[in-house]
């Protein structure tokens, strides 16, 4: 069982890294250059739950297009707390909030059923 969990976690990391993010900043570069490293982006998106794994704290979500960030796709997200997964199951439509982690992964911090 423990080996299975590790395998799932490794897979999740691989998927998160393989996910193509378009971070094109088309606008004028008037942002604070000094804050880029510490400011982790927070985004909200909608999608359909494909599967959840409370033990591994991951959820596979078929998410809609996230403007200027990611096209619609099915991918696995890390979830901040297993408690976020207690109310959802495969097939549920959800709205979720996630941040980029410093290691380059994506972490869901809020998840609610629509
Ligand atoms: Cu994605």
Is the Cβ–Cβ distance between 66 and 96 less than 8 Å? no
pLDDT in tens, 11-59: 554 445 546 555 444 444 444 444 444 567 899 999 999 999 999 999 9
> How much distance in Å is there from the Cα of 63 to the middle of ligand 1?
7
Domains of the chain: 2-20+41-113 (2.40.50.320)
Angle at 101 between CA 98 and CA 106, to 5 degrees: 45
Q: Residue 90: CA atoms inside 13 Å, Cβ hemisphere, count?
A: 7
pTM: 0.67
Lowest-confidence region among 30-34, 85-89, 90-94, 107-111: 30-34
> How much distance in Å is there from the Cα of 2 to the middle of ligand 1?
27
> How much distance in Å is there from the Cα of 75 to the middle of ligand 1?
6
> How much distance in Å is there from the Cα of 28 to the middle of ligand 1?
26
Is the Cβ–Cβ distance between 90 and 51 less than 8 Å? yes
């Amino acid at each position: 069982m423990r080996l299975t969990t590790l395998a799932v976690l490794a897979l999740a990391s691989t998927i998160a890294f393989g996910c193509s993010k378009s971070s094109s900043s088309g606008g004028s570069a008037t942002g604070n250059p000094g804050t880029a490293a510490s400011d982790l982006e927070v985004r909200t998106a909608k999608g359909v739950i494909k599967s959840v794994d409370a033990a591994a704290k991951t959820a596979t979500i078929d998410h809609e297009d996230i403007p200027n960030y990611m096209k619609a796709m099915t991918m696995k997200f890390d979830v901040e707390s297993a408690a976020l997964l207690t109310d959802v199951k495969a097939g549920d439509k959800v709205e979720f909030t996630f941040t980029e982690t410093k290691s380059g992964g994506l972490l869901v911090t809020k998840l609610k059923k629509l």
